Structure 1
Amino acid sequence: MPRPITSGPIQWLLSLIFILQMYLSMLVLGIVYLPYALLNRDGAVAACHAFCAWVRFSLRIICGLRTEIRGEVPQGEVLIAPKHQSFLDIILIYGALPRAKFIMKAELRFAPILGWYALRIGCVPVNRGKRGVAITQMMAEVKSGLARPGQLIIYPQGTRVAPGEALPYKIGTAALYSQLGQPCVPVGTNVGLFWPKRGILRHRGLGVVDFLPAIPPGLSNTAFMSLLEAQVEASSNALMQEAGYP
Structure 2
Amino acid sequence: MNGLRSSLFALFFYSGSVVAVLLAILGAVVGREPLIRVTYGWARYHRFCARVFLGIRSRVEGPRPRGPLLVASKHQSMFETIELLLMFDRPTVVLKRELADIPGWGWVARRYGVIPVDREGGAASLRRMLKAASQAIAQGRAIVIFPEGTRVLPGEQPPLQAGFAGLYKALGVPVLPIALDSGRLWPRRSFVKRAGIVTFRVHEAIPPGLPRKEVEARVHASINSLEA
Q: TM-score, normalised to structure 1's length?
A: 0.86
Give the Å deviation of 1:210: 2.3
**C-alpha deviations, 1:195-224, integer Å up to 9, x for none?**
111111110110122222110111111111
Local SS of the residue matching 1:163:
coil
Residue number in structure 1 paired with 2:61: 70
Residue number in structure 1 paired with 2:132: 141
Kindly indicate whether residue 22 of structure 2 is the aligned counterpart of residue 31 of structure 1. yes
Give the Å deviation of 1:112: 3.7
Residue number in structure 2 paired with 1:15: 6
Give the Å deviation of 1:132: 4.3
Code of the residue aligned with 1:12 in structure 2: it is G
Residue number in structure 1 paired with 2:179: 188
**C-alpha deviations, 1:29-69, integer Å up to 9, x for none?**
22234333322222222222111111111111112122223
Local SS of the residue matching 1:66:
strand
* Structure 2 CA distance for aligned equivalents of residues 57 and 125 of structure 1: 27
* Structure 1 CA distance for aligned equivalents of residues 132 and 194 of structure 2: 38
Aligned-pair identity in percent equals 30
Residue number in structure 1 paired with 2:191: 200
Could you tell me which runs of 5 or more consecutive residues in structure 2 were left unpaired when the two chains were aligned.
none
Superposition CA RMSD, Å: 1.8
From 98, 104, 107, the equivalent of 1:107 is 98
Structure 1 pair 145/66, CA: closer, same or farther in 2 (3 Å)? Answer: closer
Give the Å deviation of 1:93: 0.8
Code of the residue aligned with 2:94 in structure 1: it is I
Q: How many residues align?
A: 228
Contact 2:92/2:136 (8 A) holds in 1 = no
Report which stretch shifted further, 80-89 or 205-214. Answer: 205-214
Structure 1 pair 211/113, CA: closer, same or farther in 2 (3 Å)? Answer: farther
Residue number in structure 2 paired with 1:160: 151
Structure 1 pair 48/68, CA: closer, same or farther in 2 (3 Å)? Answer: farther
Local SS of the residue matching 2:224:
helix
From 203, 207, 212, the equivalent of 1:221 is 212
Query: 5 Å matches for 1:84-123?
Result: 84-123=75-114
Q: TM-score, normalised to structure 2's length?
A: 0.92
Give the Å deviation of 1:166: 3.1
